[in-house]
């Protein structure tokens, strides 16, 4: 992992359980089912960090013994937007923690000639502008798809945005934070570099293929 200085907008999640599970996730011998389970568990733990500053309000409830004022979440609930297809591997774990969250999807592919991300699918809640939107993708490699997804969500009216990934490359962090300096980024590790094929090194391979057993 790199020791590069990170921008203030980037949070490295160092919780021991997250780091332990990430090590298991990286291993070549980890099966598809185990990889999927670990990704789900890590994303649930990440969701604690991503949501630690959600606003609360007080409401009156009845316990079995008496009435009291107790805190509940204030305002609209979250919206989690998955960058297809691999983003769904993080989405499910976060929904385990916040089952009432709304869900959006954005599909992007890279044009083989221009290398520019091209949108092929977008489905968002109508009130996305009123929600905190967490965009999820396991890998922040070149950063171009993540930056394009955030730009598209801004066009759709989203104002409160965060980005979460399992692994990032220094190149991807640089691209994303230059394009969207105000968007908080959460990751479990920033690895050494991208190789010539835009794979994160040492990385964990292709997250989508490992999640779904494809090549």
110 is in an annotated binding site: yes
Q: Is position 91 within any domain?
A: yes
* pLDDT confidence bin for 187, thresholds 50/70/90: very high
* pLDDT confidence bin for 112, thresholds 50/70/90: confident
Q: Is position 42 within any domain?
A: yes
Q: Is position 122 within any domain?
A: yes
pTM of the full predicted structure? 0.92
Supply the range of the domain harboring residue 117: 10-52+76-204
- Count of structural domains, the chain: 1
Chain segment 92-108, per-residue pLDDT in tens: 999 999 999 999 999 98
Q: Is position 80 within any domain?
A: yes
Q: What is the DSSP string of the chain?
A: ---PPPPTTEEE---HHHHHHHHHHH-TT--HHHHHHHHHHHHHHHHHHHTTT--EEEEEEE-SS-EEEEEEE-SS--EEEEETTTTHHHHHHHHHH-TT-EEEEEEEEE-TTT--EEEEEEE--TTGGGSEEEEE-SEESSSHHHHHHHHHHHHTT--EEEEEEEEE-HHHHHHHHHH-TTS-EEEEEE-SEE-TTS-EESS-S-HHHHHHT--
Q: Is position 125 within any domain?
A: yes
Under 8 Å CB-to-CB from 176, ≥6 apart: which residues?
A: 140, 143, 146, 147, 150, 163, 183, 185
Please state, for a pLDDT cut of 90, what percent of the chain lies above it: 86
198 is in an annotated binding site: no
The predicted structure's pLDDT at residue 118: 87
Would you call 209 a catalytic residue per the annotation? Answer: yes
Supply the mean pLDDT for the chain: 93
Q: Is position 23 within any domain?
A: yes
Chain segment 31-85, per-residue pLDDT in tens: 999 999 999 999 999 999 999 999 999 999 999 999 999 999 998 789 999 999 8
143 is in an annotated binding site: yes
205 is in an annotated binding site: yes
Catalytic residue among 2, 11, 37, 110: 110
CATH number for the domain that contains residue 26: 3.40.50.2020
Please state, for a pLDDT cut of 70, what percent of the chain lies above it: 98
36 is in an annotated binding site: no
Catalytic residue among 37, 51, 192, 206: 206
User: Is residue 179 over pLDDT 70?
Assistant: yes
Q: Is position 211 within any domain?
A: no
Cβ–Cβ under 8 Å, residues 74 and 52: no
Catalytic residue among 14, 23, 209, 214: 209
Least confident of 7-16, 32-41, 71-80, 130-139: 71-80
The predicted structure's pLDDT at residue 4: 65
207 is in an annotated binding site: yes
User: Is residue 1 over pLDDT 90?
Assistant: no
Would you call 196 a catalytic residue per the annotation? Answer: no
Would you call 11 a catalytic residue per the annotation? Answer: no
Q: Is position 58 within any domain?
A: no
85 is in an annotated binding site: yes
Catalytic residue among 8, 52, 63, 114: 114
Would you call 110 a catalytic residue per the annotation? Answer: yes
Mean pLDDT of 157-163: 96
């Amino acid at each position: 992992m790199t020791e590069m200085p990170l921008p203030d907008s980037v949070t490295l999640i160092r919780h021991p359980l997250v780091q332990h599970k990430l090590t298991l996730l990286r291993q070549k011998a980890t099966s598809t089912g185990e990889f999927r389970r670990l990704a789900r568990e890590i994303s649930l733990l990440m969701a604690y960090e991503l949501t630690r500053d959600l606003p609360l309000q007080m409401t009156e409830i009845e316990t079995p013994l008496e009435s009291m004022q107790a805190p509940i979440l204030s305002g609209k609930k979250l919206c989690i937007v998955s960058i297809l297809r691999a983003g769904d591997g993080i989405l499910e774990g976060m929904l385990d923690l916040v089952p009432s969250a709304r869900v959006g999807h954005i599909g992007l592919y890279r044009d083989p000639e221009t290398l520019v991300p091209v949108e092929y699918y977008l489905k968002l809640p109508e009130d996305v502008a009123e929600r905190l939107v967490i965009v999820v993708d396991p890998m922040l490699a070149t950063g171009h798809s993540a930056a394009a997804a955030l730009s598209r969500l801004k066009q759709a009216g989203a104002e409160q945005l965060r980005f979460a990934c399992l692994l990032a490359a220094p190149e991807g962090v640089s691209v994303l934070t230059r394009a969207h300096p105000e968007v908080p980024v959460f990751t479990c590790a920033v690895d050494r570099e991208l190789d010539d094929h835009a794979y994160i090194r040492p990385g964990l391979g292709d997250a989508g293929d490992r999640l779904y057993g494809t090549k």
